[in-house]
Structure 1
């Protein structure tokens, strides 16, 4: 099954390329925003006044490479303490769900996110990187919230 899904993934990359998109804001901020699959919301946040209070804003499409990248980023940027997860969940991948399950439960011996409902929730990051993420990062669950005013209120509280 992994070879089939890898092949399908490579075909999708060629036919439907989705550029990795993120915006760096105030590098002294401890807040990040993850808009999951909501590209329009990401651009709204980037263009809003509240963005000056955000370290980085980006999307999260996949339950494996995407989460790996996020875990590496927070381990390299120790100022980050809060990730607000908002926007529409990624259909099929459920990357937001997997991110919260990783934070709560970690990974098993096969590096699979425990209790993930995603199809391929296997990570490559180290156990120590995951433990740092679990211990030092607070996740705020606004999955499926796309109203920028609600998200701004949450940012202002953090």
Structure 2
């Protein structure tokens, strides 16, 4: 099954190329925003004044490489201690769900996110980096919320 999923993923990269999109804001901020698959929401954040108050806004489309990237980022920019997770889940991948399960449960000996219901929740980042993510980052669960104003009203800046 994994070989089929990888083949489909490679085909999608060619047929439907999706550029990596994130927008950096204030490097002194400790708040990051993840809009999951909601591209319109990502654009709203990237074109608004809130960018001066947040470190980065980006999306999360996969339960493996995407989560690896988030864990790497928070390890490289250790000022980030809050990630607001909002927007719609990617159908079939449940990357947001897997991010919360990683935060709560970590990974098993095969680097599979414990209790993830995603089809391929295997990470490549070190367990040390995962521990830093678990111990130093607070996740705000606004999964499926796409109303920009409602999301802004829930963000608490330290």
Secondary structure of the 1:140 match is strand
Secondary structure of the 2:28 match is coil
Cα RMSD (Å) of the superposition? 0.9
Secondary structure of the 1:114 match is coil
Aligned equivalent of 2:83: 83
Aligned equivalent of 1:36: 36
Aligned equivalent of 1:119: 119
Secondary structure of the 1:4 match is helix
Q: How does 1:28-67 map to 2 (within 5 A)?
A: 28-67=28-67
TM score, norm. by length of structure 1? 0.97
Aligned length, in residue pairs: 158
Distance 1:152 1:53 in 2: 11
Is the counterpart of residue 140 in structure 1 residue 106 in structure 2? no
Unaligned runs of 5+ residues in structure 1 are none
Aligned equivalent of 2:15: 15
Distance 1:51 1:145 in 2: 19
Aligned equivalent of 1:154: 154
Aligned equivalent of 1:106: 106
Secondary structure of the 1:129 match is helix
TM score, norm. by length of structure 2? 0.97
Distance 1:148 1:155 in 2: 11
Aligned equivalent of 2:26: 26
Aligned-residue offset at 1:156: 3.8
Relative to structure 2, which stretch is displaced further, 128-137 or 48-57? 48-57
Aligned-residue offset at 1:157: 5.0
8 Å contact kept, 2:31–2:157: no
8 Å contact kept, 2:24–2:51: no
Secondary structure of the 2:32 match is strand
Unaligned runs of 5+ residues in structure 2 are none
Aligned equivalent of 1:5: 5
